[in-house]
Amino acid sequence: MSINHLVSIADLSDLQVDSLLARAHEFADTTPRRGDLGSTPSACVQMLFYEDSTRTRTSFESAAARLGYSTCLVTASGSSVAKGESLRDTVLTLQASVDPTVLVLRHPENGAPAWVAQGAWCETAVVNAGDGTHEHPTQALLDALTLQRQFGRDGLAGRHIAIVGDIVRSRVARSNALLLPRLGMKVTVVAPPEMLPADIAEWGVGSSNDLDGVVSEVDAVMMLRIQKERMSAATRLDTHAFHAAYAMTTERAARLRPEAVVMHPGPMNRGIEISDEVADGPRSLIVQQVRNGVWLRMAVLEALAVGRG
């Protein structure tokens, strides 16, 4: 299976989603280590990160290493981006020096990866590793993989997930809202009114302001971080009120169905959207999400490298 770019979940056909998840399950079952797969074609993965990252960055690097691909990392600070070099000039420079097969791009502006992928000057396969408040497709795919490993490969249809918190600023919520219904899941986004996007009616998912009203009805909850760095200076946030109504506390977790699971893409703000007891408790899939991110990104990088021959 090959894909050209991965900018949005909407770029993928149902067949491509199924193939990527199937391949990621294979990797999860066999847990290949560095050097186990002397892959052909050998590829080079250029990581270009204009925003901070721990999980996404290291899991792409680990995925590439396990496939036998080389990587090169450029971050905004410490590169000529800090001197004002444009995104196009930076990509052209990397193409001339590194000649990457795949470009993994994280950027604060919505649409930056799509803009690069569409450029006549772009010679690489582009993966969106998070663009502004827009999308984070590999996160949604690893979340789907994690849910399938929990509930079974054919076990998602009819399951209900609540995605809770700062929805309006969350690229993770947006990509999951596009992906999980295609796998048969019922999605309800839950947030205070000011954290729900104005266009929520067009998302094609349920929405609620009442976490206590939905908590006992779901098979999974995905808690999100409050994205303070994306809030305007004028936005006043009452963290205590948010915590009281929307945090996954021990008391709320006790009202979940017995088999329900708790997820979080990280980084967590412990004590704000999730308590220590829940984050580290038996329902938590948070560490598995990170682990599954490696297998899922192996499948994505492989499909992109195959596409580039």
Nearest to 302 by CA among 122, 86, 65, 131: 65
Are the C-beta atoms of residues 98 and 131 closer than 8 Å to each other? no
Between 136 and 159, name the residue whose CB sits nearer to ligand NCD: 136
55 binds ligand NCD (CB under 6 A): yes
Cβ-closest position to ligand NCD: 225
292 binds ligand NCD (CB under 6 A): no
Between 10 and 157, name the residue whose CB sits nearer to ligand NCD: 10
Between 25 and 225, name the residue whose CB sits nearer to ligand NCD: 225
134 binds ligand NCD (CB under 6 A): no
- What gap in Å lies between CA 129 and CA 57, rounded to an integer? 8
- What gap in Å lies between CA 282 and CA 18, rounded to an integer? 29
Tokens matching residue 163: 């995605």
172, 211, 215, 221: which one binds ligand NCD (CB under 6 A): 172
Between 39 and 178, name the residue whose CB sits nearer to ligand NCD: 178
Residues 188-227, mask of contacts with ligand NCD (x by CB under 6 A): -------------------------------------x-x
DSSP state at residue 41 = S
176 binds ligand NCD (CB under 6 A): no
171 binds ligand NCD (CB under 6 A): yes
Between 55 and 243, name the residue whose CB sits nearer to ligand NCD: 55
Tokens matching residue 151: 């509930």
**Region of 274 on the Ramachandran plot (φ > 0 left; ψ -120 to 50 alpha; else beta):** beta
CA distances from 7 to 3, 55, 269 (A): 11, 19, 27
Residues 250-289, mask of contacts with ligand NCD (x by CB under 6 A): ---------------xx-----------------------
Secondary structure E strands in the chain: 44-49, 70-75, 102-107, 125-131, 160-164, 186-190, 206-208, 220-223, 261-263
Looking only at the bridges linking them, the beta strands covering 102-107 and 125-131 are: parallel
Taking the complex as a whole, how short is the minimal distance between the CB of residue 289 and ligand NCD, in angstroms? Answer: 8
Nearest to 63 by CA among 296, 303, 308, 305: 296
139 binds ligand NCD (CB under 6 A): yes
146 binds ligand NCD (CB under 6 A): no
Phi/psi for 230 (5° steps) reads: -100, 0
Phi/psi for 165 (5° steps) reads: 125, -135
Between 32 and 130, name the residue whose CB sits nearer to ligand NCD: 130
Taking the complex as a whole, how short is the minimal distance between the CB of residue 169 and ligand NCD, in angstroms? Answer: 9
How many residues touch ligand NCD under the rule CB under 6 A: the total is 11
Window 94-133: residues binding ligand NCD (CB under 6 A): 130
**Which positions touch ligand NCD (CB under 6 A)?**
55-56, 130, 136, 139, 171-172, 225, 227, 265-266
